Amino acid sequence: MIEASALKPNTEPDTREDAQPATKLSCRNLWKIFGDEREVHDLVRKSGGVPDPAAIDRAGLSAGVRDASIDVREGEIFVIMGLSGSGKSTIIRCLSMLLQPTAGELFFEDRDLLACSRKELIELRRHKMGMVFQHFALLPHLSVLRNVAFPLEVQGVDRARSEEKAREMIALVGLESREEDFPDALSGGQQQRVGIARSLATEPELWFLDEPFSALDPLIRREMQDEFLRLQRVLHKSIVFITHDFDEAIRIADRIAIMNHGEIVQIGTPEDLVVRPADAYVEEFTRAVSRSKVLSARTLMESHDAAADHAGEIGASERVSEFAARVVEETRPFAVVDKHRRPIGQISREAVISVLAEG
Amino acid sequence: MSITATDSTSRHPAIRSTTLFWGAALAGLVVLFVVASQFPVLDDPRREFLLPFARWISDGMDFLVDDLSFGLFTFEDLTRAIAFVLSLPLLALTSLLASGWTLPFSEIEVAPLPWFAVVAAMVFMGWRIGGGKLAALMFASFAYLAIFDQWQSAMITLSSVLVAVPIGIVFGLGLGILAYKHSGSERVISPLLDLMQTVPVFAYLLPVLVLFGFGQVSAMIATIIYAMPPMVRVTIVALRSVPGDLLEFGDMAGCTARQMLWRIELPAARDSLMVGVNQVVMLSLNMVIIASMIGAGGLGRDVLTSLKRLAIGDALEAGVAITLLAIAIDRLSQAFANRARMKRPKRSQDRTRVPLSTPAGFVAILLIGALITALAPSLAIYPRALVLDTGPFWDELIRLINVHLYDTLDAIKAFLLIWVMIPLKRLLVEAPWMAVAAGVALIGWRLSGLRLAATLFAMAAFIAFTGNWEKAMISVYLCGTSVVIACLIGIPIGVWSAASARARGVISVVIDTLQTLPSFVYLIPVVMLFQVGDFSAMIAIVLYALAPAVRYTDHGLRQVPGETIEAATMAGCTPAQILWRVKLPLATPHIMLGVNQTIMMALSMLVITALVGTSDLGQEVYIALTRANVGMGIVAGLCVAFLAMTADRLIGAWAAERRRRLHLA
């Protein structure tokens, strides 16, 4: 596993990372091995907590997650992307403790989740975590309102207050007037809006989304992604988002982890992945991505020529697709400036055209 | 293509070795047949070789009843206490509905609820829950009870069903939840359920009779025991099939184990659970007649006594009353389940139309009725003058049929008896048990392995050494013929039903009705037309066991994937080819489950046909019941259960093998 940002130490820190936010959820060397409980236990004990892949194979067991280390920072959208069988569903279930990890460490803020009692875990989930499921997981016997109020009701919040909160959440996802409907009367997109409202009702700090839009039609999926980004701009949750769709990952992620065969192949910003894929597997995904949508001015710029006649300024974190039109119209280069408007480089028309030509 | 290629190369030697194997096996069995028939131990063990299982069981039972004590109280005290607790709600309901009661500390007699109030209340409930159609059904059913003078008996039956059903549901649900939550307890519960469903009902009437005595309460206990197993099973399956993501959601919402069960798992499973509830209702009503053998009054006793007197008309009227009661309660509970599922916002409009909740209205109608009868007691009872009696009509009809159709019916009967049934019976009865058991074990070994073979052989040996071999073979012959005939009729009907939507509409109504009929009711018309004997028994069994053959065939054919059929169509198959080459082969494992179910139904009907004079295991159980001989009844019951299990295991192994070969999941 390679931290892509580490490959280019001379780069100025990204504006986004200027003030490094606190880590919300963190796992180190996490393993999940499936198979007979006792065999798994023996294997881990023998290997001293660090299972050996060869030993796993020999025992006829299979590892869903292999040696994964992840830090989810406060307020970021952390996407875990992988194809089916890559272990992405397993890892989100380990991070949310729906599955007990076999080995490794798992911390929520500074609490050791693996050492939590069942009771503590229930408390944590009631107040700090929320989850959205691929197939919505709505309770068929409850109305939209009661579905959204459910997590509050199990905490013992009284009916009036939990319903008031639920109405607020339903309004947030744009489903006012459908409160009394039952899930089977809603379309897939609407059902997932209910799922989202329900997972937000307890105002969690950590928000798990397990392929939330995969079961939806492409058009609805796009609409829901926009809706999701809009919500996040308001809510600033720390998010773990699972998807098998690389385009979706690129669109919404602050950072992406790519998984293959249970291992995390690479973690980085969308741009990192496109510009510096760790291996052929990652590169395969990035091939079809329109580079102009991920490349930033910072990556594209050449060194600053103070003597040149600049046509204008471009922010270092602006994407090519955002400034291409301006640059292409001018023959003169544009200056690239950091957020204090200090020039740090320049971009020529030719450079932009070559990115656009690549697709 | 490659599959067919490898198949054709490997198949021929396989076929040859299989043929060789079965040829040798057949020869071996013939030799065994001849040799074994020389030795009584191997042919049919007589008195000197028998194992006294029946004696042991009877002694054990005597110990329970007479000697077992828990220090402060004896086992008998315990059963008495249970019976007493159960008798209270039963007494209350019977007084209310059928017999009336005396106010405490006074001489004032209170009449039971008047018939018109009960009819009106049921119609009201039907209307509120299921609309006009259900109200009409309620009216028809309950009015029938009054008009045909079945009211009193029907109310006694209804009260015992109304007590038995909730108890069966609660206990079934509880056991189901227990088995679902603790896999350890499931290992105990599951085989017990298997046994309870294969042992014929009569067999567990016996211990109940001995422990709780003869009467309405023990009849109710037997009913509960009989009606509960499907509820347990349905509960386990329903809870298991709650989608995994709902459970994950429950965890993420921070549900405790109890919240998970009551707020997520049970509500999410409620549709399936309603199937179990419905089963309990239907089985309780099915048990009505059988339970009357150990003291249930009401409609069941009416049918039973009429049947014994061969008073066909009376039996028919009471039988129809049970059926109508069953249909009414069944539809009512289904409508209730549907309504719970489809609660929609519209209900606010309903409320304004009728400013009265359903239970309140129901009670109000009954109270008004009670008030009216308090003022005018003569109204309480349906006027004698308006009673219809169809008995003479039926007796006359049967007389006419017998006069005019006797020759035809008798010819059919004689043909089947002489050419099919009697030869088969003789073959089976004369075959040494050793040869039959060896043959069955051999098939089991080929289909599954040594373990199955050993189990099958052991069960056969049990039957032989408890002295029931001949009776068991008569059972096999009777059931076997019936099952074959039921399949010959049922499977084509199933095929037809799967092929045409219109046919299916009609067929499913007929099959639903057939399954609502209590098993005893089948005996009535059969005895009317064919008198008592094996032939009548067979017809009754065929009628009773037909439904699963039809249903599973229909279902099996329908669940063949549409894409597969489209592929066959595009390959140019004619409809007949699609049926024979695609649908039927793919549906066979499913159809075989239907055959399996047909065999189970046939065996359970077998015992009931003892009433029309068969001489098989069913008769043995029935005789044991009339003599209150627990050991004899249980042993004969176990023999029936073993026959059922043999058929079940063989077909199960065959279907598994077949599925594996078809590469179906």
Q: Tens digits of per-residue pLDDT, A89-111? A: 999 999 999 999 988 999 998 89
Query: What stretch(es) of chain B map to CATH 1.10.3720.10?
Result: 469-662
Distance (Å) from the C-alpha of residue B659 to the closest C-alpha of chain A? 26
The whole-angstrom distance between A277's CA and the closest CA on chain B is 34
B254: chain A residues, CB-CB within 8 Å: 122-127, 151, 154-155
At B376, the amino acid letter reads A
Residue B336 belongs to what H/E stretch?
Answer: helix B312-341
Name residue, tokens 């489903």.
A175
Q: Do B254 and A181 touch (CB under 8 A)?
A: no
Interstrand relation of A2-3 and A263-268 (parallel, antiparallel or unpaired): parallel
pLDDT given for residue B491 in this prediction: 93
DSSP B232-298: HHHHHHHHHTS-HHHHHHHHHTT--HHHIIIIIIHHHTHHHHHHHHHHHHHHHHHHHHHHGGGT--T
User: Does residue B665 register a pLDDT over 70?
Assistant: no
Q: How far apart are CA A222 and CA A202, in angstroms?
A: 26
Helix (H) or strand (E) holding A313: strand A313-315
**Given this model, what pLDDT does residue B9 score?**
42
Lookup: tokens for A314: 């471009």
pLDDT at B533: 80
Q: How far is CA B462 from the centre of its chain?
A: 25
pLDDT tens, position by position, A237-254: 999 999 999 989 988 999
State yes or no: ipTM above 0.90.
no
What's the average model confidence in pLDDT over B524-537?
80
Q: What does the alpha-carbon distance between residue B141 and residue B127 come to, in Å, rounded to a whole number?
A: 14
**Contact A134/B245, CB-based, under 8 Å?**
yes
pLDDT tens-place string over residues A17-65 = 456 788 999 999 999 988 888 888 888 777 776 777 777 877 778 888 9
Residues 6+ away with beta carbon under 8 Å from A114: A101, A105, A106
Interface test with A, best of B252, B263, B338, B347 (most A CBs within 10 A): B252
Report yes or no: B253 at the A interface, CB cutoff 8 Å: yes
Q: Is B346 on the interface with A (CB under 8 A)?
A: no
Mean of pLDDT values over B234-256: 91
The neighbouring-strand residues paired with A268 are A256
Residue B203 has pLDDT above 80, yes or no: no
Q: Do B267 and A141 touch (CB under 8 A)?
A: yes
Give the CA count within 13 Å in the CB-facing half-sphere of A213.
22
DSSP alpha helix (H) spans, B559-608: 562-570, 575-577, 584-608
* Top-tier CATH class for B469-662: mainly alpha
Q: CB distance from A128 to chain B under 8 Å?
A: no
Assess whether pLDDT exceeds 70 at residue B10. Answer: no
pLDDT score, position B4? 41
Q: Which residues of A touch B253 (CB under 8 A)?
A: 125-126, 150-151, 154, 202
Count Cα atoms within 13 angstroms, Cβ side, for B532: 13
Higher confidence at residue B75 or residue B46?
B75
How much is the pLDDT for B1? 37
Q: Would you say residue B443 has pLDDT above 70?
A: yes
Report CB contact under 8 Å: A139, B259.
no
Q: Which domains does chain A have, with CATH numbers?
A: 2-23+71-105+116-128+204-289 (3.40.50.300), 293-358 (3.90.1280.20)
Query: Could you identify the residue written with the tokens 């989930």?
Result: A125
Which residues of B are less than 8 Å from A126 in CB distance? 253-254
Cα pseudo-dihedral B11, B12, B18, B21, rounded to 10: -150
Biggest distance spanned by C-alpha atoms of chain A: 72
Please report which confidence band the pLDDT of residue A257 belongs to, taking 50, 70 and 90 as the band edges: very high
B248, B268, B343: residue with CB nearest A133: B248
pLDDT range class, residue A210, cuts 50, 70, 90: very high
Residue B107 predicted with pLDDT over 80: no
